[in-house]
Chains A and B, each alone.
Chain A
Amino acid sequence: MVGLNLSAVSDDDDDTGPDDHPVLSAAAVAAASRSTLRPPSLQTLLEDMPDSATVPHTSSSGGDSEGKSKSADKSSRSRKLKHDVIEAVNELIQDIDTCHEQITEQAVEHIHHNEVILTLGSSRTVLQFLCAAREKKRSFRVFVAEGAPRYQGHLLAKELVARGLQTTLITDLAVFAMISQVNMVIVGAHAVMANGGVIAPVGLNMVALAAKRHAVPFVVLAGSHNLCPLYPHNPEVLLNELRSPKELLDFGEFSDCMDFRSGLGSPLLHVVNPSFDYVPPKLVSLFITDTGGHNPSYMYRLIADYYSADDLVLQRKAVPSN
């Protein structure tokens, strides 16, 4: 459609052809846009809109009922579509902003007095979770692992101290040493996979293993927008990002002992700096989301709320010329 100025960001054309699949409702489009890993090409999607009747697929919490009727003519339909999509995106933004409230409401149920909580790195959700419990006058202490190489734990510690919580900042190395004294591990997630596994900041797999060893509950706080319909396959490599080595080693430090011109072939030194870790579902005790607490084995059901079945596998299709 010409009028649409939405840029196609993704490199694959994720469109569903008119003959195979009914056109996606705006809700489904919004849900597809929520998928953090494969943002669909809206332009291509919406190009197919006028050619077929819209069938409402899923009832989503986004509640876009008006997106279901697309009987108007092309231009008014496109305008309505724009309107619906924008509204859905706004709702999504609001979801992300407010999921914390619903999650933190549950804080009091899980944190009692004289608890010791461990966390790694920093997550806004975790911070608000702990503060909510603090406001309810629960007395507890927090061990914050600093979370190299980004050291976000320092920030979190600073925030917690400002709110009057007893905080101890430890290095990530000491997690195994201290975890026997800890009642609960609470962390945030980058993404939650369909099998209940978690893509989390680097180092959390180690923490989860230690927690399992010491029978400490490992609680993951995740908003519903974190949910991803994919099952992880080789997630350490495929769903990971490698960051710059400068966070580990200064650029100039090893230049004297690396000699590339001698024709040795491959360099002798590799520096690996991943940003994410995969935590398998068996290590997670509980997910606390804005819809309540869930077992990892239940997470796949939530996908149906947010994703249409058709969007689970976004296929490449030839774009029909209009």
Chain B
Amino acid sequence: MDSRRASRAVIDPKVRHVGFVTPNAPPDRAQSFPQESNSSPLSASPASNTLSPVMIPPPRHPSENLTTFRTAAIPVPEQTRLRAESVVFEGSYDPTESLSSSSFQTQSPPASSRLFVDEEFSEESWLHRNNSAKFASSSPAPGCGFNLTSVKEVSGGDSTVISEVKKPAEASANEKNEASNDRSKNALPSGPSSKSLKAKTTKSERRALQESQRAAKAAAKAQGNKPAPAASSKAAKQPSQKKDASIAPPSAAASEKKGTDRPSERERKKDAPAPRMQFDDKSRVEKAKKRALVNQTEARNRVEYFRHLPQYEYGTQLPDLQSKLFQLDPMHPAVHKVGLQYLAGDVTEDNGRCIAMLQAFSEAIRDYTTPDEKVITRDLTAKIGSYVSFLIECRPLSTSMGNAIRFLKSRIVKLPLTLSESEAKASLCSDIDRFINEKIILADKVIVRHATTKIRDGDVILTYGAPSVVEMILTHAHELGKQFRVVIVDSRPNLEGQSLLRRLVTKGLKCTYTHLNAVSYIMHEVSRVFLGASSILSNGIVYSRVGTASVAMVAHAFCVPVLVCCEAYKFHERVQLDSICFNELGDPNDVAKVPGRRDVNYLDSLDKKENLQLLNLMYDATPSDYISMVVTDYGMIPPTSVPVIVREYRQEQLWI
């Protein structure tokens, strides 16, 4: 029984479920779950009536798994269910059904592989459990390593598969990967199709391949000290990549305290406010500039209050970065692409950014090869750190992205050393996909379900800032047939409300469109306010798009309830009192120029004046007393309960 389970068993669900939707007894999960042949108590299916708010799977700890997963009691039905309906979302990852099926058929594998298999399997089972039949997810990429692809027999296991699975500790994949290097290279751009091709290799071929790889591996081992798990070079990575990977890590040291070392994670929590650097610290700024991959020129006329935040000349980074696209050795192209998207403003919405980043990392991990003499965990962590600092240079990270990165790093750190590289990468990729699925996609569905209960016929709903969750809520409520009106409050300079308006009007909702200044005028008609958040901090402050605080304040003055819809992975343990200590500065020219209205462009020639400063804040902090309720995937809670969720459900070992 792991420690976390024990503590959870102590928690009285009735007490803890203040604000939660249904108190499904979590102690059920205290049983070793492989023995549970039915998934119903744990299905977090929003479709089911009993919505368990406690969806935390026990941690994947190797030692514990060894003790727990001795039995081969594997819940078969879930897998079949999963296979039957796998919803493939963007990225079109194949579920690791094959893996689970193969593991399912494992008869009597040796302990180490058993370990791996069970862990994989336990992940699947959590995955299945947490994904109800309705929302079955698709899981990790097919590219997640050759073990997968070779293992993957869609039609069910056979002994070769098992033997392959047996071999992970031996890290055979070296030669195997060479042989399939070309295949993997093609695998990069066209994941699923090439994987299905590989699956058609016959058993004997694969066995032969593996034998040769094993032999070569043994030979290689004789020469250098390759640690067992870090052996196999996974493929698709040019050898140059390996070398660059080792160069990139200096960023780890100074990298923004992204927690590259696991012991410092605790401290990093304390500096969690400073993934952004304090930019008035000259020495650190200099150091960062040396490592910078993106050339930034600092803006003139910076506002004094925000000297601790970075402000760059916009428009200068993008062409520079685009020209570097084909030269960037240390940077995986997927990560580079995501960085470009951030810079260009193609991806602005919070969840979208997070998903894009995680998928890029997943691809990068798939293509990663451990350099010689390095341990996969440390090297991969360093690499991820370098990617992160690159992305930060493109656009400062949001809290959700920070949490996702922390999750990934903790996962890397927890990789058991006995895993082969391919398995490690596969498990990481599956972790990432599970994170995306559970924490973002499913969470959104749960939130939608909760929030639509708060919309009644005749309501007038006001929304600001076009958060994707709120759009989903409104659409869903409309589909349920509720009669309500929507007021969309828009803001300059992003004018995000217009696209939301367009989408809602095409769906047939009655909308009113106005700008932020008119919110006092319109508020007397409004019955509910739905807002989104970029993050909710531990003192209950909602950190979201600038202007949200004003909307919440006016709603409060008119006694209109304000509901903030936010996935739980965006919660953070840091605190903040005002909007100045931590923020993001946008392009100041957006303030000066009003697009489409030439008559009001008074400031055309004034950018260079000394006395004039332009301030374009991106975020602000809404005090918690303006918020009536926070709708999360853990239920509907008051904003003061956010630190409870952070503490109880987000401790490191609980990260899936």
Contact = CB atoms under 8 A, between A and B. Distances in A.
A209 B554 contact: yes
Given A164-B611, A171-B493, A257-B506, A158 B511 contact: no
A73 interface: no
A254 B502 contact: yes
B325 interface: no
A180 interface: yes
Contacts of A149: 515, 517
Interface stretch (B13-21, B188-196, B615-623): B615-623
B485 to A, nearest CB: 9
Contact of B613 (A167, A210, A240): A167
Given A173-B546, A210-B553, A240-B521, A271 B505 contact: no
Greatest chain B CB density within 10 A among A173, A240, A273 is at A173
Nearest to B616: A171
Contacts of B508: 268
A66 to B, nearest CB: 46
A258 B547 CA distance: 28
Interface in A156-198: 157-158, 160-161, 164-178, 180-181
Interface string B498-535: 10011001101111111111111110100000000000
Interface stretch (B135-143, B389-397, B597-605): B597-605
A172 B609 CA distance: 22
Interface in A133-171: 146-151, 154-155, 157-158, 160-161, 164-171
B560 to A, nearest CB: 13
A175 B546 CA distance: 9
Nearest to A208: B520
Contact of B606 (A161, A206, A249, A254): A161
A176 B591 contact: no
A213 interface: yes
A150 B517 CA distance: 11
Greatest chain A CB density within 10 A among B514, B594, B597 is at B514
Interface in A198-252: 202-203, 205-206, 209-210, 213, 236, 240, 247-250
B492 interface: yes
B550 interface: yes
B34 to A, nearest CB: 51
Contacts of A165: 611
Contacts of A268: 505, 508-511
Contacts of B522: 272
B592 interface: yes
B578 A167 contact: no
Contact of A167 (B549, B602, B612): B612
Interface residues on A, range: 35 or more
Contact of A174 (B505, B553, B603, B617): B617
A209 B523 CA distance: 14
Interface in B444-503: 490-493, 498, 501-502
A269 interface: yes
A176 B506 contact: no
Contact of B490 (A155, A209, A248): A248
A273 to B, nearest CB: 7
**Chain B binding surface SS class:** mixed
B66 interface: no
Contacts of B502: 254, 257
A270 B491 contact: no
A274 interface: yes
B557 to A, nearest CB: 5
Given A174-B617, A209-B557, A257-B502, A273 B546 contact: no
A148 B491 CA distance: 9
Contact of A177 (B509, B549, B557, B602): B549
Contact of A210 (B521, B550, B578): B550
Given A151-B594, A257-B506, A269-B511, A277 B517 contact: yes
A148 B617 CA distance: 16
A271 B609 CA distance: 37
A234 to B, nearest CB: 9
B303 interface: yes
A53 B193 CA distance: 102
Interface string B557-596: 1000000000000000000001110010000000110101
A236 B602 contact: no
B344 interface: no
A253 interface: yes
A321 interface: no
B614 interface: yes
Nearest to B504: A268
A270 B512 contact: yes
A266 interface: yes
B514 A171 contact: no
Interface in B402-416: none
B615 A168 contact: yes
A268 B484 CA distance: 12
B300 to A, nearest CB: 14
B539 to A, nearest CB: 15
Contact of A158 (B594, B606, B620): B606
Contacts of B578: 177, 180
B521 to A, nearest CB: 4
Contacts of A177: 546, 549, 578-580, 583, 617, 620-621
A270 B521 contact: no
Greatest chain B CB density within 10 A among A149, A170, A176, A249 is at A176
B498 A169 contact: no
Contact of B514 (A164, A167, A271): A271
Contacts of A173: 491-492, 516, 546-547, 550, 617, 620
A158 B603 contact: yes
Contact of B612 (A150, A169, A249, A274): A169
Given A158-B603, A167-B611, A273 B518 contact: yes
A210 B514 CA distance: 20
B305 interface: yes
B513 A248 contact: yes
A166 B303 CA distance: 10
A123 to B, nearest CB: 15
A176 B547 CA distance: 7
A181 B305 contact: yes
Given A148-B516, A248-B515, A274-B518, A206 B554 contact: yes
A146 to B, nearest CB: 7
A164 B612 CA distance: 9
Nearest to B583: A177
A189 to B, nearest CB: 15
A267 to B, nearest CB: 8
A257 B519 CA distance: 25
Nearest to A267: B510
A203 B517 contact: yes
B524 A209 contact: no
Contacts of B493: 171
A169 B615 CA distance: 6
Contacts of B521: 202, 236, 240, 272, 274, 277
Greatest chain A CB density within 10 A among B305, B524, B592, B613 is at B613
A168 B301 CA distance: 10
Contacts of A172: 491-492, 516-517, 547, 550
A167 B550 CA distance: 22
A89 B303 CA distance: 47
A272 B620 contact: no
A175 B498 contact: no
A174 B615 contact: yes
Given A170-B591, A202-B521, A176 B553 contact: yes
A277 B520 CA distance: 7
8 contacts: A154-B601, A158-B603, A178-B617, A202-B518, A206-B554, A210-B550, A257-B506, A266-B510
Given A172-B492, A172-B517, A248-B515, 19 more contacts: A148-B492, A149-B515, A151-B594, A158-B602, A161-B609, A168-B614, A169-B592, A171-B547, A174-B615, A175-B550, A181-B580, A202-B521, A206-B520, A206-B554, A269-B501, A271-B514, A277-B517, A277-B520, A278-B520
